[in-house]
Amino acid sequence: AQSVTQLDSQVPVFEEAPVELRCNYSSSVSVYLFWYVQYPNQGLQLLLKYLSGSTLVESINGFEAEFNKSQTSFHLRKPSVHISDTAEYFCAVSRSGGGADGLTFGKGTHLIIQP
Partner 1 sequence: ETGVTQSPTHLIKTRGQQVTLRCSSQSGHNTVSWYQQALGQGPQFIFQYYREEENGRGNFPPRFSGLQFPNYSSELNVNALELDDSALYLCASSPGGASPYGYTFGSGTRLTVV
Based on the shown chain and the rule CB under 8 A, indicate whether residue 104 belongs to the binding site for partner 1: yes
Give the separation between CA 25 and CA 9, rounded to whole angstroms: 16
- Residues 25 to 64: which contact partner 1 by CB under 8 A? 32, 34, 36, 41-46, 49, 51
CB of 1 to partner 1, least distance (A): 10
> Are residues 95 and 3 in contact, defined by beta-carbon separation less than 8 angstroms?
no
- Would you say 16 or 104 has its CB closer to partner 1? 104
Q: How far apart are CA 41 and CA 57, in angstroms?
A: 27
Angstrom distance (rounded) from CA 12 to CA 112? 5
Q: Select from 21-29, 57-65, 69-77, 100-108 the region that touches partner 1 (CB under 8 A).
A: 100-108
What is the SS3 assignment for 2? coil
Taking the complex as a whole, how short is the minimal distance between the CB of residue 77 and partner 1, in angstroms? Answer: 20
